Amino acid sequence: MKNQPTDHAVLDALPAGDVITATPYDVTHDVFGIKTLFVNVFFIGKPGPGHPWVLVDAGFFGYADAIQQRADLLFGPNNPPKAIVLTHGHADHVGSLRKLLDRWGPVPVYAHPLERPYLTGLSAYPPPDPAIGGGGMSLMSWVFPIGPTDFSDVFHAIDPSGTIPELPGWRTIHTPGHAPGHVSLFRDSDRTLLAGDAFVTTNQNALSEVINQTQGVHGPPAYFTCDWIAAADSVRKLALLNPTRVGTGHGVSMHGLDLQLELGRLVSEFPERAIPSSNGRYVQEAAVTNENGIVTMPTPTSFIVARLLGIGAVVGLAWWLVVKE
């Protein structure tokens, strides 16, 4: 499926004379997105200087300037977010967080209580699974950092009600599987969904599709999904909300019939569409975690060949980045 055209309703809703340019990652007139290398961040708020807003996720390392620039265009300079909400704490979703906090001060950072150990220095995440296959991103996943990171100075556990004071009209939904405390955000008034990595809109396992941002609804990035039964349940839970628009952690935003049909197919064909190989470490047995982090993990699958192929994928990605510059 080709990239979805920019939704002009997003542009039309911006203030007259605004210089803001819509991106393929914008979701609605008050939910905007940008891509940081290969992962998205979102800005929730009515655009305008001094208007309150909330950041969802903090993107890849080294993208604090890009995030700040987009925020300044949308909400004016010297206007930090009222809060930051993390769908989960994987490195590609918190990579620029500390640098942004250094600029903005002690902005409250909300995440699910089950993400606390990975965001307060207590535990690393379950390690990635290169043996799950599916493409170059999976093969090189063994080089991705798994933490822990320490944001205990600003960490706030999301209330059991799922509400966040700084984000009225939205609720968080626990959608585990990709990460133990993964959450998605939903606004009932217009059925707008920010799904994080519960499902994504490009095949994040395949390097070529990541580079081209090829559109389609896919399961969570397989190489970091540590509980496949929970992941399938989470996708079903989100599909039942019948979202009209979605922004995800990877891939362009989607809306309308394409979204509904593709999400329905993912639910009905989850094992075939979401799990590249039955040989993955967590396919037959999930990692067991609790509020303190990892409890037990299944035996790793041998991935000597995957590691060798992954080295090639890393070199390929580095070459692409050099050419892109």
**pTM of structure:** 0.90
pLDDT of residue 308: 44
pLDDT of residue 301: 79
CA–CA distance, 237 with 208 (Å, rounded to integer): 30
pLDDT of residue 94: 98
β-bridge mates for residue 55, sequence order? 43, 84
Q: Which CATH architecture has domain 8-324?
A: 4-Layer Sandwich (3.60)
pLDDT of residue 321: 42
**Is the C-alpha dihedral spanning 262, 265, 266, 271 positive or negative?**
negative
In one letter, which amino acid is 119?
L
CA–CA distance, 252 with 245 (Å, rounded to integer): 11
Low-confidence ranges of the chain (pLDDT < 50): 1-6, 8, 11, 16-17, 304-306, 308-325
**Which residue, 228, 288, 225, is CA-closest to 88?**
225
Domain boundaries, the chain: 8-324
**pLDDT tens digits along 23-39:** 999 999 999 999 999 99
pLDDT of residue 91: 97
Cis peptide before 77 (omega within 30 of 0): no
pLDDT of residue 124: 97
**pLDDT tens digits along 161-194:** 999 999 999 999 999 999 999 999 999 999 999 9
